[in-house]
Amino acid sequence: MKSEDTIQRYMNLPKFMYLLQENSLFLPKMSIFGDQLEGGLTARDYLKTSNEASELDIGINGFFPVVGETPESREERLNNANNIKKQLRERTFRTPFGIHRCDDAQKLFPRCREQIYVSCWHRSPYECSAMWQLYGEDKNAICIFTTVDKLEEQLHRPDSIDTLVLRDVTYLDHANAKFDEDKLTPFLSKAFPFSFEKELRIVGFDSHSDLNYSDGNGQTGINVKVKSLSQLIDKIIISPNSDSWFVATIEKLCRQFKLDVTVQTSSLRIDRIESFFVAMEQLQKNNSAQ
């Protein structure tokens, strides 16, 4: 992750208004996201973390009767099986919220999703047509451009959490991949079909949250204050599908909230070159925007 890399966030008008009025980014909890593979384990990591496979093996090979077995051998077999079972009960795994028993892995990963808050950004110096369609949400939408270092510098961690980091998302095949030892990796991994998103995430959470206390989290998300929107935002791009009045509205809002940034129409809205005059007009627009 290079600090000077350009990143973008696509949003509709209500979300932009919220950003201006509250001077804050809203980070929803992960459990709200539609992709249920996020924040879960791969097949390999589930078998590694959970005790289920070992318990099945013990049940079949450790406790089932053996034909012709002597009482002494039976007692030794059962003792060995009980010792292994006891060792399994003591196995633990690491989460962003501390160390927990492997017996609880199945229920704790969904609870982690309830306590981790995320804001998703697209890493690219250029607009993305697919991102407009997916995250612009309606035709009157905008995209803010900034850089990784500016975003990191301008975020103010709220008191309700003790961790706020910027991390890249990794794309993988959940059926075959294996996570590394980083406790945040399961919450920074998405399936390959989402790789076009080139996602960078703001991730926030309170590492002292008690996952054993409750299944749910009453908060839908948290607010993260921005120190200066003018220092954060390099430019604002208007959706290629927007109404004709929308550009002027965004410019007026920026002036109203003293946001000194350039507002541009989408490069996807450029006219097809069919004459000398159209070509010259586009070149002049491009030079004035630089």
Calpha distance 14→142 (Å, rounded): 11
Residue 166 · residue 202 · CB < 8 Å: yes
Task: Read off the pLDDT of residues 42-67 as tens digits, 9 standing for 90 and up.
Answer: 888 888 888 888 888 787 777 777 87
Which range is least confidently modeled, 10-14, 85-89, 157-161, 284-288?
284-288
Calpha distance 261→267 (Å, rounded): 17
Pair of tokens at residue 281: 């007009």
Residue in the structure block whose two tokens are 């879960």: 40
Q: The whole model's pTM is what?
A: 0.84
What was the pLDDT predicted at 14?
Answer: 92
Pair of tokens at residue 58: 């013990």
Domain positions in the chain are 6-41+108-289, 43-106
> Which whole number is the average pLDDT over 23-51?
86
Does the pLDDT of residue 275 top 70, yes or no?
no
Nearest one of 249, 279, 285, 255 to 267, comparing CA atoms: 285
Pair of tokens at residue 49: 């973390």
What was the pLDDT predicted at 290?
Answer: 57
Calpha distance 64→58 (Å, rounded): 9
> Which whole number is the average pLDDT over 105-124?
92
Taking CB atoms within 8 Å and a gap of at least 24, the contacts of 277-281 are none
Calpha distance 131→7 (Å, rounded): 12
Which range is least confidently modeled, 44-53, 139-148, 197-206, 249-258?
44-53
Task: Read off the pLDDT of residues 192-239 as tens digits, 9 standing for 90 and up.
Answer: 999 999 999 999 999 999 888 766 788 899 999 999 999 999 999 999
